[in-house]
Amino acid sequence: RLDMTSMASVPSNNFRQSLISKVVSKVDESAKLEEILSGERDIELFQLKQFVWKYSLPDKQRFEVWRLLLGVSSGHPEIRATIDRHRNDEAESLWRSLRTMRLNEGGRDDPLPSDLVRMILLSRGDLRKGVDFRDIAIAPIVTV
């Protein structure tokens, strides 16, 4: 007869059991993150920071979480939509301006990474025609 109390103290090397426990914990983590990010109430940044420190972020929520943590997006749902709309409008305006001035690279319809840097410089009033932005230190320009 097996003594279950002694089995509980022995570490399990069972691959299947280990895999199931990992999958279940991932589902629990994802559910907890969904609860924190639920759209009908304000997002508690302290809880979100604790979650990020403790667990890894699922791919589908990574972008949204980092926008919140970096302060790019608001934790208040009614303000978040307005901020996102204004930021998209600003980006579209900067992209149209860059294309109108023919300073975009390659004449494409969508911006390249180098075009994004030019858009940031344009928004700050630091874009000068004839200056190769690749000689400029990028890190201070792109800081949030």
| CB neighbour class for 102 (10 Å; exposed up to 12, middle 13-18, buried from 19) | exposed
**CATH homologous superfamily of domain 12-75?**
Ypt/Rab-GAP domain of gyp1p, domain 1 (1.10.10.750)
Domain residue spans of the chain: 12-75, 77-144
Predicted confidence pLDDT, tens digits, the chain (144 residues): 444 454 454 455 666 555 555 555 555 666 777 777 776 677 778 888 888 888 777 777 788 888 888 887 777 877 888 888 998 999 999 999 988 888 887 777 888 888 888 888 888 888 877 666 666 665 565 554
Contacts with 33 (C-beta within 8 Å, 6 or more apart), sequence order: 51, 55, 57, 58, 61, 65
